[in-house]
Amino acid sequence: MKRYPPSSPLIVLIGRFLALMALFFLCRLIFFWFNQESFSSFTSPIFWQGLRFDAAAICILNAPYFLLLLLPFSFIESRTFRTIGNVYFLTVNAIALLTNLIDTCYYPFSMRRMTGDIFSFIGETNNFGELVPAFLKDYWYIGLIWLGVIGILFLTTYLTEKTNYHRFISKIKYHSWKIGYGWWAFIEIMIECRSLFGADHSSFDAIDPEGGKTYAEKPSGWLKHLVFRAFLLFLIFVGARGGLQMRPLNISMAGSVAGMENAALVLNSPYSLITTLDSKGLKRVHYFNDEQCTELFDTHRHISGLYTNEDVTNFPKYGKAIDYDHPINIVLIILEGISSEYSAYLADYPMPLGGYTPFLDSLAQNAIVFRGFANGQQSIEALSSILGGIPSLMEKPFSQSRYAVYNIPSAVSLLSQYGKQTLFFHGGKNGTMGFDRYCSLVGINEYFGMNEYPWDEDYDGTWGIKDIPYLQYVAKKLGSYPDPFFATIFTLSSHHPFTVANEYGGFLPEESTPMQRCVSYTDEALRQFFGRAKQSYWYENTLFVITADHTNFVGAENVDYPAHRYSVPMIFYWPKATEAYRSDRIVQQVDIMPTIFDYCKIDGDFTTFGHSAFDDIAPHFAINYLSGNYQFYSDQYLFEFDGKEIDRIWDLENRWNAALNDAIPAVNNFESREKLMKAVIQKFNNGLLDNNL
């Protein structure tokens, strides 16, 4: 059995572990450098908090290799084993470090580290093949950085593989002995451990490289060897669990140690990914008994209106809609990634991003506007929240989970039963993110995707049909349907790679980020859509509801992330309405359908986590889930909750935050807010587990 030169597996293990720690730390620096505008409250100790997550990821990923290096058998030093070990080390860690670099670019879109649902996203995205080239083109420098990282991995492999143990130890022993006894004792311990790894080097001379004295090495006992091996195994185990604390490390702890606004900076992508791959779903929680929980928060909603009155019909007469004192058609517009902060009318002072939605602003000033919150950070999470009334309070988006197929009475399906034609328009490829599948689950009658669009020349080359031509197509299409109808329109142009066709560049602002230019483009698409809709018979009797799927602050600076991370438009516009105002009442995406029922005076019973925005008695809050933690917004307060305890409370109005015990005295009605938050979570987890929402 031919062996390499006598390099110690101990040197290999320690050297490669330290090299990986350095590379993971380097990736965190790169991640921070490219996304520093997202971490306004960053402090340097956060980097050191991340070392625990780095060590955990390295120990988990390399556990098979590291554990084999500790075996007391001679085959560990064989050429075959070392070759296999080197291939494993290079391949696994190159991929792991690549995920860190990918998240460097993708974080501004998702606002979180990569998790196990990425594979579901890839499977549900029909245009993934077009996205990869666009990503490589825009972020070509990430590929160069990755090649540099791979080069360091190869160098580490070479140096730790080729280091001659005898010569290395002899030189260190000699110079350590010259420096002092303390260093000599340390080297003695290192050499005592040599025979742990199967090589019989229990006796050799430490040779002075300059030809001087030699020092005989004494044989070491097997007891010491076994103890040291057990100690190394213990260190790997402790590293994999993230320390000696009672609870093993998990992604929710990142928010605990650094705050939710900096959680992604503490985490690394490999750890976030591998710890969510085998997610088995929800865990049952018991904050209250079932009766108390239902009393605090119930998902059964009854909206009382006029729609089912036998003396009233909402169908057109002589080709024109009958004039009623409430809208009979509903057009729900979901804007891709457009936060309220891009609007001069909707943004909060000092409005660092406002001014890119002039048409939306003009519409909002003649509508009823609420303080809107998204229930997630992905488009695929938004659809289940808005149409289904179910937020994604878990790692996997609700629409991709096993619970999505449960028979949960939705508001949309109720509209179908009442005779409204339910339609969904999205210019993306059919099947993208499973939109078509989920629409069928909630009761959408007809789905229109890119396949149904008649003009291929309007394809943007990546996602689907550009917003301006597509919204014109939708306006024309709606004119072919009789009243009453419920139509959802999902835009797509305000998204990476932020391409705007040259023929539309004349009206776009010059000095702006690529995202802001896309926001302006979509705003122009809305202006032209409403211009055409006004010429249609259905316009006057239609409620237009405008919101966004999530926020997108790519390239933006000076954004107050705790306050605005989930800030989206929430506009209810009826052309015939005479009342218009802006309310500070919190309205989340799951509130949209109950509010529509209330506004349009539709009577119905359905399941939702939302309430009507016009309900003065119901609690008004917003909740979402990110990196193992819940964010609960109630009035001006934001609670960060890891499922067991509240880590931090923010007062977004007075701009302070504090740990739980320090914050409680300053929070009005703290106990009732905490109970409501826990009741919502318990109803979500246990209700889905028991299929009794």
What mean pLDDT comes out for the span 514-518? Answer: 86
Helix (H) or strand (E) holding 381: helix 379-386
Q: What is the mean pLDDT of the chain?
A: 81
Is the domain of 366 the same as that of 431? Answer: yes
- In this structure, what is the dihedral angle of CA atoms 68, 74, 80, 83, given to the nearest 10 degrees? 50
pTM exceeds 0.85: no
Q: Residue 501: what pLDDT?
A: 61
Rounded Cα distance between 549 and 553, Å, is: 13
Beta bridge partners of 656: 651
Q: What letter does residue 248 receive in the DSSP assignment?
A: P
Is the domain of 73 the same as that of 160? Answer: yes
Q: Residue 225: what pLDDT?
A: 62
Helix (H) or strand (E) holding 426: strand 421-426
* Preceding peptide of 133 cis, ω within 30°: no
175: in domain: no
5-9, 311-315, 567-571: range with lowest mean pLDDT: 311-315
Higher-confidence position of 18 and 325: 18
Is the domain of 447 the same as that of 409? Answer: yes
Q: Residue 126: what pLDDT?
A: 59
What mean pLDDT comes out for the span 454-462? Answer: 86
Q: Residue 258: what pLDDT?
A: 66
Is the domain of 525 the same as that of 436? Answer: yes
Q: Residue 203: what pLDDT?
A: 36
462: in domain: yes
Counting residues of the chain whose pLDDT is more than 90, the rounded percentage is 39
Domain count, the chain: 3
Is the domain of 373 the same as that of 252? Answer: no
Is the domain of 373 the same as that of 434? Answer: yes
DSSP string, 262-298: GHHHHS-HHHHHHTTTT--------SS-HHHHHHH--
In contact, 550 and 379? CB cutoff 8 Å: yes
431: in domain: yes
Give 363-400 pLDDT, tens digit per residue: 999 999 999 999 998 888 999 999 999 999 988 888 87
Question: Left, alpha or beta for 172 (phi > 0: left; psi -120 to 50: alpha)?
Answer: alpha
Give 238-257 pLDDT, tens digit per residue: 888 887 776 677 776 776 66
Is the domain of 605 the same as that of 627? Answer: no
**Confidence band of 401 (pLDDT split at 50, 70, 90):** confident
226: in domain: no
Higher-confidence position of 193 and 549: 549
Give 62-88 pLDDT, tens digit per residue: 999 888 887 766 777 778 888 888 999
3-state secondary structure 37-84: HHCCCCCCHHHHHHHHHHHHHHHHHHHHHHHHHCCCCHHHHEHHHHHH
436: in domain: yes
**Confidence band of 681 (pLDDT split at 50, 70, 90):** very high
**Residue range of the domain that includes 436:** 323-559+567-612
In contact, 643 and 426? CB cutoff 8 Å: no
Residue where the block lists tokens 């606002």: 111
Residues making up the chain, counted from first to last: 693
Q: Residue 671: what pLDDT?
A: 94
Given a cut of 50, is residue 193 above it in pLDDT? no
Is the domain of 590 the same as that of 641? Answer: no
Given a cut of 60, is residue 318 above it in pLDDT? no
Q: Which residues lie closer than 8 Å to 206 by C-beta, 6 or more apart?
A: 169, 170, 173, 174, 177, 214, 215, 217
**Confidence band of 324 (pLDDT split at 50, 70, 90):** low
58: in domain: yes
The CA angle 345-347-352, to the nearest 5 degrees, is 115
What mean pLDDT comes out for the span 677-685? Answer: 96
Q: What letter does residue 458 receive in the DSSP assignment?
A: G
Q: What is the CATH number of the domain that holds 426?
A: 3.40.720.10
Q: Residue 67: what pLDDT?
A: 86
413: in domain: yes
Counting residues of the chain whose pLDDT is more than 70, the rounded percentage is 79
Is the domain of 468 the same as that of 512? Answer: yes
208: in domain: no
Given a cut of 60, is residue 323 above it in pLDDT? no
Is the domain of 361 the same as that of 446? Answer: yes
Most confident of 287-296, 496-505, 556-565: 287-296
Is the domain of 595 the same as that of 647? Answer: no
Rounded Cα distance between 282 and 607, Å, is: 19
Q: Residue 208: what pLDDT?
A: 44
Given a cut of 90, is residue 23 above it in pLDDT? yes
What mean pLDDT comes out for the span 102-119? Answer: 75
Helix (H) or strand (E) holding 203: none
Is the domain of 580 the same as that of 634? Answer: no
Burial-class residue 300 by CB neighbours within 10 Å (0-12, 13-18, 19+). exposed
